Amino acid sequence: MGIFDFFKGKSKAAPAPAGATDTSAAPADALIKELQAHGFDVSTVDIEVDGGKVTLNGAVNSRAEMEKIVLAVGNTKGVAQVENNLIAPDADPEAPSGVYIVKEGDTLWKIAEASYGDGKRYEEIFEANKPMLKHPDKIYPGQRLRIPGGTGPAVADAAIWAPPAEIAKKA
């Protein structure tokens, strides 16, 4: 469905599953355990690891779950790229989320102001990124966050979640 590039030099705050190095992702079984620790049902997800590239195959329950799994894997130590081949239900009514890359000095309030024009909406971003985020103040530079319905200039185009054929149609 898409290839996502992630910041290579992750913060020390980034999750570091067993076997992950600065340049190589953890083995597939460790990444599965990391996703399970977040509460994701990954019984139908297959993970392949090749150095810093992780490929996700299989089916998930919703678009939101797909987005969260891609970002949870991509935000872990050693992952530089995620190839997303996960399938979410076609009938999923949720629109694709935008993506925001956290910069030094960012807060969820500041991101909500840039994305929605209202800092008070930071809780929407926090909720959209659970269970990866445990506390609204625990974000770090380079981390990618889901921004549902965000339209600010700092939010990447939601088309990144679309299958390549759909992106080609819009070009």
Digit-coded pLDDT (tens) for 8-65: 777 888 888 888 888 899 999 999 999 999 999 999 999 999 999 999 999 998 888 9
No. of helices (H) and no. of strands (E), the chain: 5, 6
Going by C-beta distance under 8 Å and a sequence separation of 6 or more, which residues neighbour residue 30? Answer: 17, 18, 19, 20
134 and 102 in a single domain? The answer is yes
76 and 111 in a single domain? The answer is no
Which domain covers residue 38, as residue numbers?
2-87
Can you give the pTM of this predicted structure? 0.79
6 and 79 in a single domain? The answer is yes
Going by C-beta distance under 8 Å and a sequence separation of 6 or more, which residues neighbour residue 16? Answer: 26, 76, 77, 78
The number of domains in the chain is 2
In a domain, 133, yes or no: yes
pLDDT 10s digits, 64-109: 899 999 999 999 999 999 999 998 886 556 667 788 889 999 999 9
58 and 104 in a single domain? The answer is no
Q: What is the CATH number of the domain that holds 146?
A: 3.10.350.10
In a domain, 170, yes or no: no
